[in-house]
């Protein structure tokens, strides 16, 4: 019996590179040399790439690429922080993975917008065969972010009433599903009727649609559902000037978890608004800090993959685009018309 020879390792690969910060058009396709993995490294053939709001912030210069050093020999300014694929080759000293294994990568280093990439073995985890490539890529970083907010912060959801602002995004829909499955009553704030339907399908008990008036409308729902007590938790993906109106919706000893700023930077918040009379908590967790430790990365991805396999979570894949059309994916995210997560796949 003969075994199939491993696929050849290409000498170069396609990436979407950002030479200078700017709009979606700042990403340009480029063929770059592809080196073989060195000691402690793995060469992965990418099968699917998750598109996340963090990618936009690095592309437009809101966050600096240089804050996260690229691996030796890798292009410095290639976006992307989540991808799944197959191992093509491993470097010396790597015995955890071998050619053909399915793996996932989330978090630093940058560079997921690539058809192939070399990664440190410590940044990879096994990716189950039962999960489709696009579903895994869509759920990866959002699912880890939800794990961070729930388990990393030690939050209790069973029997709690929670408000999710930005509930139809990649993180928001997973958060609504996870919280509902854990016994929480969820109030969702979304921007359109289509997003409202998605939030309800994910398990939201009450959905508020609207722009600047949405928080006021959510406040009325909070009063009705809690008898005037306020919600136990607010999860906010939107930020912007209206963030300062959220503490009024939270009951004493409740907490606000801020995990995004799609509507712009969060203005300064007077600590007196939080306490001592209200006794509120404010959290601003960072997903990179959560998975910087390999054990936390393993715990987060294990919980996520188990939830996907068992059907507890079913992330919404809003669209699958060729890697060369990464700019179109970013334009859709910036237009805020995406329900769930977008995925890129290497060009055929």
Q: How many CB atoms lie within 10 A of CB 223?
A: 13
Give the pLDDT confidence score for residue 69 in this predicted structure: 75
CATH classification of the domain holding 225: 3.40.50.720
Evaluate whether residue 35 is within a structural domain: yes
Task: Say whether pLDDT at 97 is over 70.
Answer: yes
How far is it, in rounded angstroms, from Cα 235 to Cα 250? 11
Whether 118 is covered by a domain: the verdict is yes
β-bridge pairing 116-120 and 41-51 = antiparallel
Beta strands in 3-91 (DSSP E): 12-18, 27-33, 41-51, 82-90
Residues 275, 298 within the same domain: no
Model confidence over 60-70: pLDDT tens digits? 999 888 887 77
**End-of-domain residue from the set 269, 284, 299:** 284
For residues 27 and 132, state if they share a domain: yes
For 282, half-sphere exposure in the C-beta direction (CA atoms, 13 angstrom radius) is 16
Tell me whether residue 307 is in a domain. yes
- Quickly list DSSP for 144-205: HHHHIIIIITT---TT-EEEEETTTBHHHHHHHHHHHHTT-EEEEEESSHHHHHHHHHHT-S
Domain co-membership, 276 together with 300: no
Buried b (16+ CB within 10 A) or exposed e, 7-46: eeeeeebbbbbbeebeebebbeeeebebeebbeebbbbbb
With 50 as the cut, is the pLDDT of residue 327 above it? Answer: yes
Cα 327 versus chain centre, distance: 18
Confidence check: pLDDT of 249 > 50: yes
Q: Does 191 share its domain with 82? A: no
CA distance 202 to 316: 10
Regarding whether 296 and 205 lie in a shared domain, the answer is no
Q: Output the pLDDT for position 87.
A: 97
User: Does some domain include residue 1?
Assistant: no
Output the pTM of the full model: 0.91
Contact by Cβ (8 Å): 320, 135? no
Domain harbouring 87, CATH code: 3.90.180.10
Mean predicted confidence (pLDDT) in 317-327: 96
Q: Specify whether 65 is located in the same domain as 87.
A: yes
Residue 1, pLDDT score: 46
Do 39 and 130 reside in the same domain of the chain?
A: yes
Domain boundary among 284, 310, 332: 284
Give domain status of residue 78, yes or no: yes
The answer on 296 and 270 residing in a single domain is: no
Answer with the one of 237, 252, 284 that is the final residue of a domain.
284
Domain for residue 279, yes or no? Answer: yes
pLDDT, position 44: 97
| In-domain check, residue 5 | no
pLDDT digits (tens, 9 = 90+) for 185-205: 999 999 999 999 999 999 999
Domain that holds residue 133: 12-140+291-345
In a domain, 46, yes or no: yes
Residues 135 and 256 in one domain: no
Summarize the confidence of residues 159-182 as an average pLDDT: 94
Question: Domain total for the chain?
Answer: 2
Are both 197 and 118 inside the same structural domain?
no
Verify that 280 and 300 share a domain, yes or no: no
Could you give the C-alpha distances from 123 to 21, 55, 68, 152, 222, in angstroms and in order?
A: 26, 18, 14, 19, 41
Q: Is the preceding omega at residue 109 within 30 degrees of 0, hence cis? A: yes
Same domain, 119 and 220: no
Angle (deg, nearest 10), helices 294-310 and 133-147: 120
């Amino acid at each position: 019996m003969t075994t199939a020879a491993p696929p050849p390792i290409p000498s170069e690969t396609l990436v979407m590179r950002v030479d200078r910060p700017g709009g979606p058009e700042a990403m340009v396709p480029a063929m770059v040399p592809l080196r073989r993995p060195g000691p402690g490294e793995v060469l992965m053939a990418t099968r699917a790439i998750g598109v996340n709001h963090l990618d936009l912030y690095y592309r437009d210069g809101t966050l600096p690429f240089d804050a996260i050093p690229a691996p030796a020999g890798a292009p410095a300014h290639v976006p992307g922080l989540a991808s799944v694929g197959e191992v093509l080759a491993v470097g010396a000293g790597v015995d955890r993975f071998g050619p053909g294994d399915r793996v996932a990568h989330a978090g630093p280093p940058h560079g997921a917008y690539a058809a192939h990439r070399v990664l440190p073995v410590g940044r990879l985890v096994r990716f189950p065969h039962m999960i489709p490539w696009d579903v895994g890529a869509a759920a990866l970083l959002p699912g880890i972010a939800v794990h961070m907010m729930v388990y990393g912060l030690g939050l209790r959801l069973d029997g709690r009433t929670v408000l999710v602002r930005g509930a139809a995004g990649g993180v928001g829909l997973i958060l609504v599903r996870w919280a509902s499955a854990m016994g929480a009553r969820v109030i969702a704030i979304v921007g359109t009727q289509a997003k409202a339907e998605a939030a309800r399908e994910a398990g939201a008990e009450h959905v508020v649609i609207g722009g600047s008036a949405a928080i006021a409308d959510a406040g009325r729902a909070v009063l009705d559902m809690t008898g005037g007590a306020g919600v136990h938790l607010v999860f906010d993906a939107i930020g912007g000037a209206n963030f300062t109106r959220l503490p009024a919706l939270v009951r004493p000893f409740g907490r606000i978890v801020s995990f995004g700023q799609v509507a712009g930077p969060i203005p300064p918040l007077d600590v007196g608004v939080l306490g001592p009379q209200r006794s509120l908590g404010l959290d601003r967790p960072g997903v990179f800090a959560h998975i910087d430790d390999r054990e936390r990365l393993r715990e987060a991805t294990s919980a996520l993959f188990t939830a996907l396999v068992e059907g507890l979570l079913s992330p919404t894949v809003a669209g699958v685009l060729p890697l060369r059309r990464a700019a179109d994916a970013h334009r859709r995210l910036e237009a805020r018309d995406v329900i769930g997560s977008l995925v890129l796949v290497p060009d055929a």
